[in-house]
Structure 1
Amino acid sequence: MRIRATVAAVTGALALSALAVPAAQADNQVPDLASLVPSTSKATPFAAVAPADESLGDTKITGVTVNGGKNIVVGTTVKKSFTVSVTATDPEGVQDAFAMLWHGPDTESADGAIVPETLDNEQVGNCTNSSATTATCKVTLIADPKDNLYKNLLAGTWKVWAAAAGNDGDYVIREAYKTAKVQRASKLTVNASPEPVKKGKTITVTGKLSRANWETYKYAGYTGQPVKLQFRKKSSNTYTTVKTIKTNSTGELKTTVKASADGYFRYSFAGTTTTPAVNATGDFVDVR
């Protein structure tokens, strides 16, 4: 039910649809983008459908940047605050802009939404003009594993819904201007033993790859994933790959190598669409 609250928001208040904006236009007023912003109340019932691509006049969105171009990585309990910047142009100047993230195959089947937490009166974005016709407006969104990231299947690719309004009442809406990744935070450990060890003897290297579970609020093993065992000599700053192994059914890693020189062993995970790359902190082995 949690998502129905969030998506309701998206769908209900998003239904500025063909009515809200054109109504403002009819009076030659600047459209109120604040009316687009959904409520985050969990009590809001599922309502309508978010407006699809729509425009009036010559307002254009020329760029959208999510979280500074980085993936949005969320753990088990801490909220992740991030910024979405919308750059827009209009011959008469830009009045406001807005963006949010939504998840699903289409807006009618959306099962997730990440929207701005607060509004400043009627203005949605914090806008900075770079010229008389262009502005970049920023909105702050919050990804919360105890609210809008209520199930693990929400990890992966999200679509970015964006809107902008000109000072003359023109506007533009893009339901999927671009995509962004929202990922489950990952952890990776390593332990090489025995320490110290005689040259030529066997070293056993263990570890575990785990990631945030948004349903239990704990970290759980990431199974069946390829992970590289890497080594760097004490005198070097560069790791080289020794071999690649896969995590077992609980995310555990275990392999053996021959001791050759003093240095650091670590495991390295390249990441997936749903889970970010991570390197374990190197474990030093003294070879005698």
Structure 2
Amino acid sequence: MRRRATAAIATAAAFSAVLAVAALAAPAAGAGQDDSGTKFWNIDVNHDRDYTVGVEAARKRVFSVSATVTDPSGVQGVSYELWHGTERAKADGVMTASSHCVKLNETTSFCEALLTADPNVNLRSNALAGVWILTPVATDGAGNVTRGDGAYFARIKRQTYMSQTVATPQTVKKGQNLTVKARMTVASWEQRKDVPLIGHQVVLQYRKGTSGPFTTLKKIKTDRNGWATTTVPATADGSYRYDFATTSLTQATTGSADYVDVK
């Protein structure tokens, strides 16, 4: 058996969103050329278009990683490495798993694995939130090993939560101010519990009546206890809710709406 250099890698669509940290994992200029013919196609992480996995404070999260793998001599097996850091040798977080491969034809297999992100094992620091580099490792029909370094990634994020939105008073006169509040928390892998999400922007949204789209009324930052609080004039019967957009480290979330009768 011989170990091959980085495999040729292709996708159905260009990975324009690959971050700079992924580039650090790519082979240096002048590295040995791959002559294996092994290719990894259509890599999928968690069946999510942004390759994102949200992880709670103290509960492990099992998620899938898959690829279509082809080699002229066939595919014997594939495993996946997911690691965090600027280079694999100094990674401060690692997840690995062997895949189950289904043979599509003599040269091509679909290989899927289940990886586990666990705050009690491999996510003990909040600093591990963000981009993780994904390296598929294939063994072809002749026993040669090929690593697909530097082209794929996953986003491992801290799960966020928005409480039920509360608008007061109920009922309210038209033109009277409503106070609208909700609380945001985020998973702390270090503390194994949810903690206030402090100083992050959320948007207050409103939907007139009982159907139709929500529109944004205001942008507000959460306070030191995670609360978003603001006032708005009541104009018509409708629902209010807070929405939090994703960041590079935290998942997006939307709170449940509160319906208000306006007299």
TM-score scaled by structure 1? 0.77
Q: Aligned partners of 1:253 and 1:102: how far apart in 2?
A: 35
Counterpart position of 1:270: 245
1:180 aligns with 2:154: yes
Asked whether the equivalents of residues 86 and 98 of structure 1 are also in contact (C-alpha less than 8 Å), the reply is no
1:282 aligns with 2:263: no
Asked whether the equivalents of residues 61 and 87 of structure 1 are also in contact (C-alpha less than 8 Å), the reply is yes
Please give the root-mean-square deviation of Cα atoms over the aligned residues, in Å.
Answer: 2.0
Query: Greater share of strand residues, 1 or 2?
Result: 2
Asked whether the equivalents of residues 83 and 93 of structure 2 are also in contact (C-alpha less than 8 Å), the reply is yes
1:203 is matched with which residue: 164, 170, 178? 178
Listed one character per residue, the Cα deviations across residues 163-186 of structure 1 (whole Å, up to 9, x for unaligned) are 111112233112333111001100
Describe the SS at the equivalent of 1:108: helix
Counterpart position of 2:139: 165
Identity of aligned residues (%): 37
Describe the SS at the equivalent of 1:153: helix
2:36 is matched with which residue: 57, 70, 92? 57
Alignment of 1:179-258 (within 5 A): 179-189=153-163, 190-258=165-233
Q: Aligned partners of 1:182 and 1:235: how far apart in 2?
A: 36
Describe the SS at the equivalent of 2:47: helix
Listed one character per residue, the Cα deviations across residues 189-241 of structure 1 (whole Å, up to 9, x for unaligned) are 22111111111111001111111000111111112211110000124321011
Q: Aligned partners of 1:108 and 1:273: how far apart in 2?
A: 24
Describe the SS at the equivalent of 1:175: coil
Asked whether the equivalents of residues 102 and 110 of structure 1 are also in contact (C-alpha less than 8 Å), the reply is yes
Describe the SS at the equivalent of 1:101: strand
Asked whether the equivalents of residues 161 and 186 of structure 2 are also in contact (C-alpha less than 8 Å), the reply is yes
1:67 is matched with which residue: 46, 54, 60? 46
Q: Aligned partners of 2:209 and 2:176: how far apart in 1?
A: 18
2:91 is matched with which residue: 95, 110, 114? 110
Give 4+ residue runs of structure 1 displaced > 3 Å after superposition.
52-56
Alignment of 1:32-111 (within 5 A): 57-69=36-48, 70-111=51-92
> How many Å apart are 1:72 and its aligned residue?
0.6
Q: Aligned partners of 2:44 and 2:211: how far apart in 1?
A: 37
Query: Greater share of helix residues, 1 or 2?
Result: 1
What are structure 2's unaligned runs of at least 5 residues? 5-24
Q: Aligned partners of 1:213 and 1:199: how far apart in 2?
A: 42
Equivalent residue pairs, number: 235
1:22 aligns with 2:2: yes
Asked whether the equivalents of residues 59 and 165 of structure 1 are also in contact (C-alpha less than 8 Å), the reply is no
Counterpart position of 2:115: 141
The one-letter amino acid of 1:188's match is M
Q: Aligned partners of 1:22 and 1:225: how far apart in 2?
A: 51
Q: Aligned partners of 2:202 and 2:83: how far apart in 1?
A: 31
The one-letter amino acid of 1:242's match is L
What are structure 1's unaligned runs of at least 5 residues? 1-20, 26-49, 117-123
Q: Aligned partners of 1:271 and 1:191: how far apart in 2?
A: 22
> How many Å apart are 1:91 and its aligned residue?
1.2
> How many Å apart are 1:56 and its aligned residue?
5.9
Listed one character per residue, the Cα deviations across residues 140-177 of structure 1 (whole Å, up to 9, x for unaligned) are 11111111100000011100011111112233112333
> How many Å apart are 1:66 and its aligned residue?
1.2
Q: Aligned partners of 1:285 and 1:62: how far apart in 2?
A: 51
Asked whether the equivalents of residues 61 and 172 of structure 1 are also in contact (C-alpha less than 8 Å), the reply is no
